[in-house]
Structure 1
């Protein structure tokens, strides 16, 4: 006779811990570790926070702005100045070059506008066979909400593209996925986008 055991408690790091954690928190729509609660209904947020505190032992870090400032202070970046380009233009890294991204971005930050048009726009590009080690293309995109940069990514593609056009299509597909995800997040926060979402591709 086969016997199946069900664990009532899980130790963090075990194979089944993540599934049990997800099952426990499904009704609260949360992820583990640090959690940011956002919304436009403050009484509901306070009620939601109280329910979480009843279920789990939480440490409320307060208003997000204060939390973000503490992170910047701990990292020593409170005095960082805005810049149009956080990286030196056209830098190519390889496993033989002992230069890290931290060397390029040290002391630089992003500037967010307090008043800006809520228009979601994306810009994407692909650098064909740019990786010096694998000859794979690099996908890059940046997404703006009005004049503020809210999402960006630069990553090697999973496969080797046979042409620059194929690399560009992969880049556009990744950017569209990110735009769709951001639209859903804004919709959940009751942010109405009155203009069509645009995607610009350099091809």
Structure 2
């Protein structure tokens, strides 16, 4: 990674969280000197012996733990699973003890984002649960301030804890204009903060 890479790490099943990640990356790269490094995590299996290829068939490359060391900031996204992050994302963080012991993320800014199938499907609790391992890693958590007018007008998603999206039951609802603007604003805010902290 270059000196000013910000890691955008997500897991997505139907594509909505992936699209939020892309929009956050767009916001990051709107800041001169900031680069978004988009990564995902492999799926997990109920069959203990099953493993996924080390190279994704399509889409973003899989994250490596060295990405945590190299980034100057982190945007973390997952769909909601009963008010919590999805198992593949939790599995990745469960394996990050070496990075925790080495202080790889201490003092770096982070934000979180999510997508849900129902309006009251646990968006904010998912954002909060994603913050917990990041706080253990010593990261500086960032939300979305109400100076972003879309927080007050969005009827499909959005939270001061981080951008959200209501994908509906089939997971196919498009990102709303308000959600898109909030995602870009969140990425821009993260990038500006990360660059100030590394100056």
TM-score, normalising length: structure 2 = 0.26
Quick one: higher RCO (CA 8 Å, sep 6+), 1 or 2?
2
Answer with 1 or 2: which has the greater Rg.
1
TM-score, normalising length: structure 1 = 0.26
